[in-house]
Amino acid sequence: MCVEREPYQTARAGTGQSGNGSRSLLIRGGLVAGADGVLETRDVRIVDGRIAPAGAGALPHDDVEVIDATGCLVLPGFVNMHSHSYGTLCRHDGARLPLEPWMNYALAGTANRTPDEILVATQLQAIEALRTGTTAVVDHIGGAVAGLAPVLGAYEDSGIRAAVAPMIGDIPLPDSVGLSAEDWPPGTGYGAPEFAQKPAAELLDDTLALRRSWTSPSGRVAVILGPSAPQRCSTDLLASVAEAAEREDMLVHTHLLETRLQAALTPRSGVAPGWTSWTERGS
């Protein structure tokens, strides 16, 4: 990824398609870090989406797209290992609040979203990522799992790599921070039908159904498992996630000990001796 100059300057743009069907790209004159970390002015050759060996020889000039990277730093694409695409449309909500009270805004921001809202939020995340050098993301996406198909399509169309982890949890929000429902502020709207949580089995079934319904034409976009966090998931849900991960050969993405409050909470029965014990299942 060449950063610093915008838009990119293309010195010569051929078809980018050689006679044998391969696609070629030459990033010319950019600053590249060598093995010793010293920046050098070098050309980077890419054939069929892969960096060609330095001694691969010149590519046919008429069949290569050339990007002038003079004055630019040429880097591999960055990887964002944790994001929430729904947040692109509600960044102003609950600004500067600690995580626990902010969760009320997060739940509201994912309730009753239309397919178009889900699509636009994901497109914005992909655009922002690509414009700043990020070529792969993990999206821990909130909202009803059954309605998340637009997320997959948006990432596929953008050209970015994405692991989509529907964020599932079956522990009520007050319980997750050690409070009863009666102690939760009534003005938050907690208890409204929009915030109703499905049983553990249904949440996992919805995630697996989404995965089975999706085939990425490019192979870049996948569905993975996304339990919200140990304190927001029952022991049954965490155990089922671990079993599904092994059975279906799926990755798992979650939150863990995000705040001092979470670190101070006593793990529920079955999760003891600590919040991380469920991650050791099968190891």
pLDDT of residue 179: 82
Domain boundary among 23, 52, 74: 74
Mean pLDDT of 124-129: 97
pLDDT of residue 159: 95
The residue that leads in pLDDT, 50 or 10, is 50
Non-local (6+) Cβ contacts of 273 within 8 A are 267
- The pLDDT-based confidence of 18 (bands split at 50, 70, 90) is very low
Q: Residues 50, 99: one domain?
A: no
Tell whether the model's pLDDT for residue 236 goes beyond 80.
yes
Total of domains in the chain: 2
Q: Residues 119, 198: one domain?
A: yes
Q: Residues 67, 26: one domain?
A: yes
Cα distance between residue 262 and residue 256, in whole Å: 9
Q: Residues 139, 211: one domain?
A: yes
Query: pLDDT tens digit string along 66-102?
Result: 999 999 999 889 999 999 999 999 888 888 888 888 8
Mean pLDDT of 123-145: 96
Cis peptide before 273 (omega within 30 of 0): yes
The residue that leads in pLDDT, 222 or 111, is 222
- The pLDDT-based confidence of 209 (bands split at 50, 70, 90) is very high
pLDDT of residue 59: 55
Domain boundary among 74, 95, 122: 74
**pTM (2 decimals)?**
0.82
Q: Residues 86, 69: one domain?
A: no
Tell whether the model's pLDDT for residue 37 goes beyond 50.
yes
Cα distance between residue 280 and residue 274, in whole Å: 11
pLDDT of residue 19: 43
Question: Within the chain, how many helices (H) and strands (E) appear?
Answer: 7, 12
pLDDT of residue 269: 58
Tell whether the model's pLDDT for residue 125 goes beyond 70.
yes
Q: Residues 129, 164: one domain?
A: yes
Mean pLDDT of 267-281: 59
Any bridge partners for residue 9, and if so which? 68
pLDDT of residue 275: 64
Domain holding 49, by residue range, is 2-74
